[in-house]
Chain A
């Protein structure tokens, strides 16, 4: 059953001539699912999150969060969601504990229940020892963890995470990703935005690829990569007779397509584990030596490239 239902969401700043940041985006998220919005910077991910957080009013469309409309029942929606903004949104002159106590009150907690929940969240984000230190003295990763902790105080049914791993070290990133998976295992529904393909691939049950405010693909990782086919891309460089080698490899079993690109032979292969030894054998038989070879499994980067003509990192 869907806990998030987004219908033709649209946001134009300063209409009618302003920037169209989100253009008719629709998707559903099932309860307990991690759903990622993957796209480059400026694709409209944060604007979508802002509308679903009731921070921005949509120009058109609506979304239901746990049965409440973001347009008409914003207060009820806000009680259901926890929002982790892209930038650290904490009070730096307050300690981690003071921050959590303050934000807990904003989520309607009070008294012993608030203190107990703050203790739990401090453990969850592994900052019990540093709880009395001012946030301004924390490392980037620690701030990120408090930033996430704030959104978990009221045990939201749906958690929005807007690029929560930007600008932090690999160890902190790993810790945050593990934490997100643990939350999903506890039954929390998560809407995650990122421009890191690997994160989306690792975390998500389903992924929506967005670009220029539009959703250009939506599905599981497997479903998405099928868009570009199941063949791996192999790029090989040889020491001589490039044309001859390319012709010989065209006949190798498992090779679907062969092209020459400058000094490389580029081919698509169905199962690279089986095809690669055959390529080496074929080259050796012709007295040609392979000096370099790269294999790229079908991935979201290739999907994005395939759908937009641009690399995700561009």
Chain B
């Protein structure tokens, strides 16, 4: 045991002196998580920053209408349901609304034409008019939301117009019947029929069957993915010392001392395992302190961290056992880790994927680990992630078993 600790301690000290490796193990995942997290709207959840919209309602109304159709559209944009995604201000003219976009004060200008009500309520089936959306092309997300809301409103209007036109046609030229149909269409519009299909709801990923699950921080989700991914590289970096030492002659020299193969391999595995565990702990603590990430219940966090360290260590040793030189291990290892990360979903955060991607994810230890982190961050305990612990643990044991077989055969 003393020899295992001595070998592990020697490797840990060597890693601690390796500044480039530390940067890759600790700073890179934090930096990437921060960048991606802020790109998706910060660390506080899945909220998207409200899009600034300016509305110029030039609708002059129609003789028969009480409320103009332009007011209905503007009202929809200003509805409480949309206040988290749209920040609407009114402008007195189309020119003023466009200027607000040009000056960067708004992302989208909605310009409702003067004849809008006239066309909607009384223009007949052939009448045409256009609501203008004046957009800043770089604000794609905000523009799409406004386009969707306005487009939906116009669809509803068109539906009402079509119904009224149909009623008029069926009346056979009866003026009173035609008037009644037009009134009914306007009534439908004003009574809220138009807004019926416009409710927008945010739906964060939900655990199956768990309606009370907490929302999770997007930065936390991304950092969990980056942490597991960079743990692969952290483990590889330490495990590669086996090949480095083989080339430098210190590994053969170790084998000439009265130290068993088991102790030498045990020492190496311990150093890899401890290194990636420390790496994970540093990232978890940094995530909590810098981004305020709620990682979840301690029991689940500890178990997930240890299993992730086991998987990374086992995989790194397996890659080492299959390669001859440090350069080979670097190249092949990087390929293996990237493929696993892509298949397991490390670059898409912890959100559970569906379809074929979800199936592929099940074949990777990191995919299971990420599901475990997702559940834990939503408040799940170790009992809720039984399979997300056991399956990766099985992978870790298998990796380690084959690695030890290969390494023993090679150095025996």
Contact = CB atoms under 8 A, between A and B. Distances in A.
B257 A106 contact: yes
A106 B259 contact: yes
A108 B250 contact: no
A257 interface: no
Contacts of B2: 105, 110
Contacts of B3: 105-106
Given A57-B412, A78-B257, A88 B249 contact: yes
Interface in B1-26: 2-3, 6, 10, 13-14, 17
A227 interface: no
Given A91-B10, A105-B3, A110-B2, A54 B256 contact: yes
A89 B258 contact: no
Contact of B17 (A75, A85, A93): A93
Interface string B248-271: 111011111111100000000000
Interface in A95-118: 102-103, 105-108, 110
A90 interface: yes
B202 to A, nearest CB: 53
B interface secondary structure, majority: helix
Contacts of B13: 94
A55 interface: yes
A122 interface: no
B2 to A, nearest CB: 6
Contacts of B250: 89-91
A93 B10 CA distance: 10
B258 A108 contact: yes
Interface centre among A105, A106, A107 (most CB of B within 10 A): A106
A150 B253 CA distance: 10
Contact of B249 (A89, A93, A94): A89
B256 A81 contact: yes
Nearest to B257: A106
B252 A55 contact: yes
A78 B253 contact: no
B260 A75 contact: yes
Contacts of A91: 10, 14, 250
Most buried by A among B2, B17, B255: B255
A92 B17 CA distance: 12
Interface residues of B, number: 20
A79 interface: yes
Given A105-B3, A106-B3, A110-B2, A89 B257 contact: no
B6 A106 contact: yes
Contacts of A54: 255-256
Residue with the greatest number of chain A CB neighbours at <10 A, chosen from B6, B253, B254, B256: B256
A85 B6 contact: no
Contact of B14 (A55, A57, A93, A108): A93
B412 to A, nearest CB: 7
Interface string A57-89: 100000000000000000100110101010111
A99 to B, nearest CB: 10
A55 B2 CA distance: 22
A127 to B, nearest CB: 19
Contacts of B6: 102, 105-106
A85 B252 contact: yes
Nearest to B253: A89
Interface in B233-259: 248-250, 252-259
Contacts of A81: 256
Nearest to B5: A105
A36 interface: no
Contacts of A88: 249
B253 A83 contact: yes
A53 interface: yes
B252 A75 contact: no
A85 B6 CA distance: 22
A89 B247 CA distance: 10
Nearest to A54: B256
Among B10, B13, B248: residue with most chain A CB under 10 A: B10
Contacts of B412: 57
Contact of A107 (B17, B252, B257, B260): B257
Nearest to A107: B257
Nearest to A79: B258
B14 A85 contact: no
Q: Looking at B2, B3, B17, B257, which has the most chain A CB atoms within 10 Å of its CB?
A: B257
Interface of B: 2-3, 6, 10, 13-14, 17, 248-250, 252-260, 412
12 contacts: A55-B255, A55-B256, A75-B260, A78-B256, A88-B249, A90-B250, A91-B10, A91-B250, A94-B13, A105-B3, A106-B258, A106-B259
Given A91-B14, A106-B258, 16 more contacts: A55-B252, A55-B255, A78-B259, A87-B249, A88-B249, A89-B250, A89-B252, A91-B250, A94-B13, A94-B14, A102-B10, A105-B2, A106-B257, A106-B259, A107-B257, A150-B253
Interface of A: 53-55, 57, 75, 78-79, 81, 83, 85, 87-91, 93-94, 102-103, 105-108, 110, 150
